[in-house]
Amino acid sequence: MIKIGELSKVTGCSVQTIRHYEKEQLIASAERSEGNFRLYDEAAVEQLLFIKHCRSLDLSLPEIRQLLALNRSPGAQCDDVNRMMDRHIEQVEARIQELTKLNEQLRKLRRSCSNRRTVKQCGILRNLSATPVSSG
Amino acid sequence: MIKIGELSKVTGCSVQTIRHYEKEQLIASAERSEGNFRLYDEAAVEQLLFIKHCRSLDLSLPEIRQLLALNRSPGAQCDDVNRMMDRHIEQVEARIQELTKLNEQLRKLRRSCSNRRTVKQCGILRNLSATPVSSG
DNA sequence: ATTGACTCTATAGTTATTATAGAGTTTATA
DNA sequence: TATAAACTCTATAATAACTATAGAGTCAAT
Ligand SMILES: [Zn+2]
Ligand SMILES: [Zn+2]
Ligand SMILES: [Zn+2]
Ligand SMILES: [Zn+2]
């Protein structure tokens, strides 16, 4: 059994984050020592790594909670998992699109000024003041 | 002179957002009517549209505050504007990279399960439990 | 006994809004 | 004129996923 600091080192999650996950019911309430310290076993390490992996894929805590619940009912069909993943992937792709478009606009804007100009002549500020370019 | 609801309609910013921008000092405190209602003129409309344009480019409120300050000192060199834009563009591009990589991982993960499997056999959950693939 | 490292809970801060509650103002209608 | 509807005011809380405190308690070593 390890204490929370050790768990933090092993998993790379901060101590506060681990406590936060407990409060948010992503991990079960840990056993406590006599002095009221949280105690964790190997299973806790693995569950935390699972969560961390999910977070690295930008899955939200509610999404992860859903995955963990499914994990606990191994007989269920996994259509739900798939639906969630599809939706998540869709959102990521939409965000990529958005940012790509944004990036083009920013670069264009940036080209409208070279250094050592005066703010008064600055194309960036002038263009920012103009009505935003519509997407069409 | 128009009231805040009208300004909201004209600019497409919500009433609360406008009040928020005032509190955050992005726009000057509005004049007040006898009944203590905020009153705006055409200049306010334009400044709000400027802010909205900036926000649509994902510039943060502090960044916009900086732009507005520069806008008020037309004699200054605009190197600062450029530096900020460069940094902002860098961040957007970094985020695009991140999400693109993420998207690949998600799609790969998604392929590891077809519908009508059982959670127990689910490649998604199995793969999520495994240690994340390192980037190398 | 005391120090230092660790842990505990509770609370507040982060970003840019959005959503309330409860009170006051203005405009339109009966 | 009374009343209702629509609007506005301030202040406060919620959102997501942490991070950072404060103040107190625990534990191991000196
Ligand atoms: Zn998602
Ligand atoms: Zn410039
Ligand atoms: Zn930025
Ligand atoms: Zn599956």
pLDDT digits (tens, 9 = 90+) for B99-109: 999 899 889 88
pLDDT digits (tens, 9 = 90+) for B60-82: 999 999 989 888 887 888 888 88
The count of CB pairs under 8 A between chains A and B is 153
Residue B64 with chain A: CB contacts under 8 Å = none
Contact A38, A32 (CB under 8 A): yes
- Cα B54 from Cα B105, distance rounded (Å): 32
pLDDT digits (tens, 9 = 90+) for A60-102: 999 999 889 888 887 888 888 888 999 999 999 999 998 999 8
CA of A107 to C1' of D26 (A): 56
Q: How far is CA A87 from the centre of its chain?
A: 15
- Cα B50 from Cα B70, distance rounded (Å): 13
The structure tokens 């497409």 sit at B12
pLDDT for B21:
96
Residue B122 with chain A: CB contacts under 8 Å = 78, 81
| A70 with B119: Cβ contact below 8 A | yes
Contact B30, B41 (CB under 8 A): no
pLDDT for A6:
97
| A103 with B93: Cβ contact below 8 A | yes
Contact B97, A43 (CB under 8 A): no
Backbone angles phi, psi at B12, to 5 degrees: 80, 10
Cβ of residue B136 closer than 8 Å to a chain A Cβ? no
Nearest residue (Cα to C1') for D25?
A35
pTM listed for this prediction:
0.82
